Amino acid sequence: MSVQSSPQSASAAPAALPSDHPLRTREAARSTVSSPLVAALRGQRPQRHPVWFMRQAGRSLPEYRAVREGIGMLDSCLRPDLVREITMQPVRRHDVDAAIFFSDIVVPLRLAGVGVEIVPGVGPVLDSPVRSAADVAALPELQDSSLDVIREAVSATVEELGPRPLIGFAGAPFTLAAYMVEGRPSRDHLGPRTMMYADPAAWEALAGWAARVSGQFLRAQILAGASAAQLFDSWAGSLSATDYRQHVQEHSAAAFDAVADLAGPRVADGAPLLHFGTGTGEFLPLMRDAGASAVGVDHRISLAEAHRRLSAAAGPDGRSAVPLQGNIDPALLSAGWDVLEAHVRAVVASGALAPGHVVNLAHGVPPTTDPDTLTRVVELIHSLDVDREQQEDA
């Protein structure tokens, strides 16, 4: 199917965000409009090349392990004071250009009343997998009041961040539904892929439910102060482009539609929306067309190639090239500085072809990463911009 979207021009009316939102406030100490991250995601060229890392708040940091000691993962995600502290830790240590809200993609399930726990060394495990139409029909809907704890955590974090943006996030409907069908992490995701064909009505109902809770989760974060948001489709790479188009794209679009009045690309002054998946190089245009302002790219193709593929495939709304995010290979974080530095420089050069570029990893920070290496990578990326400006002035 084709997913229609209607981006507005740069002169469009402001987003329907609160007047004190970081993207609308007139207070310079809180405004994120001129931040490098927001500028790059809106297709502009900021003076400082923005960089942040997926899973930058996590097990690679000793301060994270200390503050989380004895506290379960999902319990940590539902304590606003702890969420704020963990979200801020990599900002303080690495000087990254954005914070990513500390949470987990299954948090909306827990808030809706679905029995789920994150088992150490395993990942999300559901009390009861969802494998039939009756199972889907029995799922509770996420009540808006249940998201108050998320709003509180976002608001407190944004207050501490000042002019540095917070990125909200949610799991994309396919990845969320994949966990629910399998009941736990899977290598091949046969369960949800089989359901698409063996029981398409059940799949449509489950993916629709996942899209609703993901959309609600995104909306709560943006309204509470997040300046951008990312939809994670960690397992979409198990799909063919045809399966993605026929069974998944419309549900990702529905999740984005939940914030269409708050966010880009449809609202010029809204919060930019990122769409990221692993192993999705074959259908990046479809991910863009689901409603993203920018597309995340993993390590399997270069940013230059991703830009070429997007440029060659204009969507139904006429958009083609969009800002990109990525794509430092996490494996190289432990490969030695000479190798890593050359790779980072190549990634920045490759991303320069896109309308905007946010440097990130091709996936999350491995837990064994030396934090000092990440700090050094950030310093390198920021210095490359200084070098560029010095060359332009010469």
Give residue 16's pLDDT.
Answer: 87
pLDDT in tens, 1-59: 334 333 333 334 455 899 999 999 999 999 999 999 999 999 999 989 999 999 999 99
Query: What is residue 87's three-state secondary structure?
Result: helix
pLDDT at 388: 52
User: Residue 5: what pLDDT?
Assistant: 37
Closest of 221, 211, 316, 203 to residue 265, by C-alpha: 316
CA pair distance 80, 254, nearest whole angstrom? 28
**Separation between Cα atoms, residue 235 and residue 278, nearest integer Å:** 7
10 Å CB burial of residue 99 (0-12, 13-18, 19+) is buried
The residue behind tokens 């449809």 is 266
Architecture of domain 36-393: Alpha-Beta Barrel (3.20)
Burial of 388 (0-12, 13-18, 19+ CB in 10 A): middle
Q: How far apart are alpha carbons 384 and 47 in whole angstroms?
A: 10
> What is the distance between the alpha carbons of residues 77 and 154, in angstroms, rounded to a whole number?
11
Cα 48 to Cα 325: distance, rounded to the nearest angstrom: 15
Residue 275: enclosing H or E segment and its boundaries?
A: strand 273-277
Closest CA to 136 of 220, 188, 200: 200
pLDDT recorded at residue 15:
57
Domains of the chain by residue range: 36-393
Which stretches of the chain are DSSP H helices?
36-41, 62-68, 73-77, 80-94, 107-112, 133-137, 148-161, 173-182, 190-198, 200-224, 241-247, 249-257, 284-289, 303-311, 337-351, 371-393
Structure tokens at 70: 């004895």
Q: Which residues are annotated as a binding site for substrate?
A: 55-59, 104, 179, 234, 363
Helices 249-257, 200-224: axis angle to 10 degrees equals 30
Q: Which two tokens stand for residue 37?
A: 């991250």
Which token pair is 299?
């390590």
Residue pLDDT tens, the chain, 394 long: 334 333 333 334 455 899 999 999 999 999 999 999 999 999 999 989 999 999 999 999 999 999 999 999 999 999 999 999 999 999 999 999 999 999 999 999 999 999 999 998 899 999 999 999 999 999 999 999 999 999 999 999 999 999 999 999 999 999 999 999 999 888 888 999 999 999 999 999 999 999 999 999 999 999 999 999 999 999 999 999 999 999 999 999 999 999 999 998 989 899 999 999 999 999 999 999 999 999 999 999 999 999 999 999 999 999 999 999 999 999 999 999 999 999 999 999 999 999 999 999 999 999 999 999 999 999 999 999 745 544 444 4
Instruction: Classify the C-alpha dihedral 220-141-232-183 as positive or negative.
Output: positive
Sequence-distant (≥ 6) Cβ neighbours of residue 65 within 8 angstroms: 59
> Cα separation of 94 and 114, whole Å?
36
Angle in degrees, CA 200, 203, 208, rounded to 5: 125
Give every CB contact of residue 37 below 8 A, 6+ residues apart in sequence.
50, 52, 97, 98, 165, 167, 227, 228, 358
**pLDDT recorded at residue 185:** 84
H/E/C letters for each residue in 91-131?
HHHHCCCCEECCCCCCHHHHHHCCCEEEECCCEEEECCCCC
- Cα dihedral sign, 197-111-292-250: positive
From the annotation, which residues make up the binding site? 55-59, 104, 179, 234, 363
